[in-house]
């Protein structure tokens, strides 16, 4: 293991046996007596490394195998094949020892004690992780300042709002100063302001503590704001590993032209496909009232050519060009 790598994942696969049930009541009855099984590869031969102090975005569509992968990295699941080495340990070999030095947030679950005041959860965690009094106090002060827990620290957890609960959960995952932090959908269901606070906190924790972070999310702004590098998986396989900028360059040739039309009929005069010889995948036209959005592949048709063609063909009230966001890139990548 090279000294700089905090996480090394080598040819890891995870298979599940899945029972196939035929639809309907008849299928249910049938499956009572005769079970059809199928082997599903949730994670298929994935390899990657993460350096100490890096924030890695781990993304993919629903059911891509993200969660399964995270559960293997956190020592909950054992891989069917392959090797994982994190912080010099094999996660699933000695779970209790391994988890002492990692922190985990599963955004859809909570590790807080539901019926107790929040501060009690931290006292319990202090005992579980055997944290010294002084270290605990320092840590609490830091987390308090970054995540602003003070206003609700005395309230029972069940009375907290989702945003408060998530901040508390992140604090709880960090109380023992973990070397690696796994954040699985840490901003799910939160409003923009809270998301922003949480992102700031994650950045601050990463910079102050050099904590290595793996982040999975569906919110692409999380990735854009937090991660320099991403690993993308789809159908269990790794489909991209590299800098976010590079990915945008590679797949992000999509541009959007927004037009305010004078008359809707004008749109019929525009024939982009013929004019620029575009494929179905290279062009998407949306029309809402008199506002049209034309999304196209700028490596096939230059932005300037598109603009001059439009302006030469029809009269417009207003026209603007924008870059497609990463969400679009990912969507296209998944399709391909």
Partner 1 sequence: MFGKMRKVYGGFFRAGAQGAMAYRLNFMGFFIGESLYCFVMYFMWKAVFMASGESTFMGFTLVDMTMYVFLSNIVGFFTGTDSTRALAEEIRDGNIIMRMIKPVNVDLSLLANEVGNNVVYFAFIFAPVMLGVEIYRYCALGYVAFDIVSFLIFILSMILSYILSFYLNLIFGYLAFWLMNIWGFDILKGSIIKFFSGAMIPLAFFPGIVRDIFELLPFASMVYKPTMIYMGKISGVNILVALGEQIIWILVFYGIAKLLWHFAQKRLAVQGG
Q: Among residues 4, 28, 108, 208, which is the contact residue for partner 1, using CB under 8 A?
A: 108
> Shortest gap between Cβ of 44 and partner 1 (angstroms)?
16
Tokens 């503590």, located at residue: 209
Of 128 and 264, the one with the shorter C-beta distance to partner 1 is 128
Tokens 């496909």, located at residue: 273
Phi and psi angles of residue 161, each rounded to the nearest 5 degrees, phi first = -75, 165
Of 109 and 246, the one with the shorter C-beta distance to partner 1 is 109
| Contact status: 75 vs partner 1 (CB under 8 A) | yes
Query: What is the rounded distance in angstroms from the CA atom of residue 318 to the CA atom of residue 304?
Result: 16
Q: What tokens appear for 224 in the block?
A: 């854009």
Of 180 and 294, the one with the shorter C-beta distance to partner 1 is 180
Q: In what order do the strands lie in the sheet with 81-86?
A: 36-51, 5-20, 81-86
Q: Report DSSP letters for 66-106, one per residue.
A: HHHHHHHHTTSS--SEEEEEETTB-TTTSHHHHHTTEEEEE
What angle is formed at CA 53 by the lines to CA 11 and CA 204, rounded to 5 degrees?
A: 135
| Contact status: 196 vs partner 1 (CB under 8 A) | no
Report the 3 state secondary structure along 247-263.
HHHHHCCEEEEEEEECC
Q: Among residues 6, 60, 106, 183, which is the contact residue for partner 1, using CB under 8 A?
A: 106
Of 120 and 328, the one with the shorter C-beta distance to partner 1 is 120
| Contact status: 208 vs partner 1 (CB under 8 A) | no
| Contact status: 127 vs partner 1 (CB under 8 A) | yes
> Shortest gap between Cβ of 111 and partner 1 (angstroms)?
5
| Contact status: 211 vs partner 1 (CB under 8 A) | no
Q: Among residues 54, 59, 84, 113, which is the contact residue for partner 1, using CB under 8 A?
A: 113
> Shortest gap between Cβ of 114 and partner 1 (angstroms)?
8
Q: Among residues 30, 41, 52, 100, which is the contact residue for partner 1, using CB under 8 A?
A: 100
| Contact status: 128 vs partner 1 (CB under 8 A) | yes
3-state helix vs strand vs coil in the chain, percent to 5: 40, 30, 30
| Contact status: 120 vs partner 1 (CB under 8 A) | yes
User: Is there a contact between 50 and 211 (Cβ–Cβ < 8 Å)?
Assistant: no
| Contact status: 109 vs partner 1 (CB under 8 A) | yes
Query: What residue ranges bind partner 1 (CB under 8 A)?
Result: 16, 62-63, 67, 71, 74-78, 95-97, 99-100, 102, 104, 106, 108-111, 113, 115-116, 120, 123-130, 156
């Amino acid at each position: 293991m090279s000294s700089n790598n905090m996480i090394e994942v080598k040819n890891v696969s995870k298979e599940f046996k899945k029972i196939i049930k035929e639809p309907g009541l008849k299928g249910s009855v049938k499956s009572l007596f005769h079970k059809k099984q199928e082997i599903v590869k949730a994670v298929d031969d994935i390899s990657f490394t993460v350096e100490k102090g890096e924030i890695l975005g781990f993304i993919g569509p629903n059911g891509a195998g993200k969660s399964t992968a995270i559960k293997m990295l956190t020592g909950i699941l054992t891989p069917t094949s392959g090797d994982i080495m994190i912080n010099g340990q094999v996660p699933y070999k000695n779970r209790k020892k391994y988890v002492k030095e990692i922190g985990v947030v599963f955004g859809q679950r909570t590790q807080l004690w539901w019926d107790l005041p929040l501060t009690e959860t931290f006292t319990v965690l202090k005992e579980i992780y055997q944290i010294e009094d002084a270290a605990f106090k320092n840590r609490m002060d830091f987390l308090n300042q970054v995540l602003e827990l003070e206003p609700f620290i005395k309230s029972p957890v069940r009375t907290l709002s989702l945003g408060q609960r998530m901040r508390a959960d992140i604090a709880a995952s960090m109380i023992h100063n973990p070397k690696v932090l796994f954040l699985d959908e840490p901003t799910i269901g939160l409003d923009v302001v809270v998301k922003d606070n949480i992102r700031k906190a994650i950045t601050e924790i990463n910079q102050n503590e050099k904590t290595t972070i793996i982040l999975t999310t569906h919110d692409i702004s999380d990735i854009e704001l937090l991660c320099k590098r991403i690993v993308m998986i789809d159908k269990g396989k790794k489909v991209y590993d590299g800098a976010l900028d590079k990915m945008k360059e590679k797949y992000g040739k999509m541009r959007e032209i927004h037009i305010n039309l004078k008359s809707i009929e004008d749109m019929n005069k525009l024939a982009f496909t013929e004019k620029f010889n575009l494929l179905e995948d290279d062009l998407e036209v949306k029309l809402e009232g008199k506002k049209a959005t034309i999304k196209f592949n700028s490596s096939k048709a230059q932005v300037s050519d598109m603009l001059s063609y439009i302006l030469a063909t029809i009269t417009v009230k207003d026209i603007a060009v924008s870059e497609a966001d990463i969400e679009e890139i990912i969507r296209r990548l998944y399709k391909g």
